Amino acid sequence: MSLSRRTFLQGAGTALALPFLEAMLPRRAHAQMEVPKRLLAFYVPNGIVMNEWTPSATGADYALTRILAPLAPHKDELLVLSGISNLPARPDGPGDHASGTGAFLTAAHPFKTEGSNIRNGISMDQVLANAIGDATRFPSLQLGSEGGSSTGGCDSGYSCAYARNISWAGPSTPLAKEVNPQAVFDRLFAGDDPGATMAAQRKRQLYKQSVLDFVKEDARALKTKLGKTDRGKLEEYETGVRELEQRLQTPLPAPTCTPGARPGAGGDYRDAVRAMCDLMVLAFQCDRTRVITYMLGNAGSNRVYRHLGISEGHHQISHHQGLAENLSRLVSIDIWELEQLAYLLGRMKAVVEPNGTLLDNSLVFFSSEIEDGNAHRHTNLPIILAGRAGGIRPGRHVRYSGGPPIANLFISMLGALGVPTTSFGLDGTAALGQLT
């Protein structure tokens, strides 16, 4: 199997990184400090009950609906966006969930296959990671709360690679997510001992360097025995080794980031979701990464929400057929999903930075692969954009006419995050208006 450069680096060992603290700067520099911008993409499966989601009024005076009500403490930090489409996500025949999820951040048209010949596009988060990822130990993180392999078929002839991943390094390279909070904590903070001396840290760094020396020597010996295709894969792997080697040669900063306690084992799905939210905030706060994607569930997830008094699977009741009892259950699930987003935003607002809060310096994109679970439409998607990074002006409901492509929203987001581009995906041609 080919290891992409970015996939290799994301699996590599960690080192220490500094959070952004006012105490680290001279007082006169506080106002001039350029705090990093961050991106978090938050995916939920099976669409939303749109008539209980969409505000009736536009502008700053809109009223939160039943589903949006959990976000009341953060209304001033939100843009609710209506009327945006992702037409490249429409499948060839059935398969809206997998195709829509594959195109969630790529705005590409996933090739219908259950085999290894998957084809999609680079996702928006990876365009950003390619531009700013060198500044942090992890160029990006892919997280989730529902696992599963990326091989085989998951939805009417579409590969599980589309259904279980929203981050794509390239057309054939989905970036698998980590779903175990303990594993995420270990990956972020393994070896992070606030009491360790610089000498001890350097010793660990040199040990990692020696391991890389062995890997490079082994790769050189292997290259002469491989065919053309495998040699190309190995060269891609070696590129990752060289980049990691350069990172390990960078002087270590002082160990000032205190991650706190490791998440506990066990617990239920709700505990795991909250733990992931805490870890995402911590990863940003400690500057381990500035780009994160998170999947609350996989495409077409049929999770049973027994804690909400629901005994049927989510995907099953998302085919609601207009029945009141199904719609009521779906609204309960949607409200719970927004409660998790509200918790995340609250944690981000609690992190104070030199020029505001962590949320002020971030963009949080929240949406689903389809509009409505019964109709499977890829128009008028449920979208929230939270945060103020790059001059985004929240506190409003904006309704667009004509179904502008979500790719144009991604162009705007990338520009706000410091990566200007004039095109994206299959139909992105210009920045989306009314965001600033």
**189 and 15 Cβ atoms separated by less than 8 Å:** no
**pLDDT number for residue 29:** 42
User: Which of 189-198, 293-302, 427-436 is least confident?
Assistant: 189-198
- Reported as a pLDDT band with limits 50, 70 and 90, residue 31 is very low
Q: Domain locations in the chain?
A: 1-34+196-254, 39-192+269-416
8 Å CB contact between 77 and 388? yes
For residue 429, the one-letter residue type is: T
CA distance 155 to 114: 9
| pLDDT at position 253 over 80 | no
Tokens 């065919």, residue located: 227
Evaluate whether 262 touches 190 at the Cβ level (below 8 Å).
no
3-state secondary structure labels for all residues of 344-383? HHHHHHCCEECCEECCCCEEEEEEECCCCCCCCCCCCCCE
Instruction: For the domain made up of 39-192+269-416, give the CATH fold.
Output: Alkaline Phosphatase, subunit A (3.40.720)
The string of pLDDT tens digits covering residues 213-248 is: 666 676 677 767 777 667 665 666 666 666 666 655
pLDDT at 145: 97
**How far, in Å, CA of 217 to CA of 112, rounded?**
40
Which amino acid is it at 211? V
Cβ-based burial of 309 (10 A; exposed 0-12, middle 13-18, buried ≥19)? exposed
**Strands across the sheet containing 362-368:** 141-144, 291-295, 38-44, 362-368, 383-386, 78-82, 396-399
pLDDT at 255 over 90: no
Check residue 240 and give its pLDDT. 63
The span from the CA of 139 to the CA of 132, in Å, is 7
Question: What are phi and psi for residue 77, nearest 5 degrees?
Answer: -100, 10
Report helix, strand or coil for 34: coil
CA distance 394 to 167: 26
Residue-wise pLDDT tens digits, 58-72: 999 999 999 999 999
Report the C-alpha gap between 298 and 160 in whole angstroms.
9
Identify the pLDDT of residue 27: 43
Listed residue (69, 86, 82) closest to 382, CA to CA: 82
Pairing verdict, β 396-399 and 38-44: unpaired
Burial 214-245 (b: 16+ CB within 10 A, else e): eeeeeeeeeeeeeeeeeeeebebbbbbbebbe
Contacts of 352 (CB under 8 A, 6+ apart): none
Residue matched to tokens 């904006």: 398
CA distance 93 to 307: 35
Q: Which residues have CB under 8 Å from 72's CB, separation 6+?
A: 64
Given a cut of 90, whether residue 370 has pLDDT beyond it is yes
Whether the pTM exceeds 0.85: the reply is no
Instruction: Identify the band that residue 24 occupies on the pLDDT scale cut at 50, 70 and 90.
Output: very low
**How far apart (Å, rounded) are the C-alpha atoms in residues 431 and 429?**
7
- E-only strand ranges, 156-306: 158-159, 168-170, 173-174, 291-295
CA–CA gap between residue 51 and residue 53 (Å, rounded): 5
> Which residue type sits at 400?
Y
Q: Hey, what are 177's tokens?
A: 């997510």
Type of residue numbered 337: E
* Tens digit of each residue's pLDDT (9 = 90 or more) over 118-133: 999 999 999 999 999 9
Nearest 5°: the CA angle 164, 165, 166 is 135
Chain centroid, CA 425 distance in Å: 17
169 token code pair: 């390094």
Does the pLDDT of residue 8 top 50, yes or no? no
Confidence of residue 286 (pLDDT cuts 50, 70, 90): very high
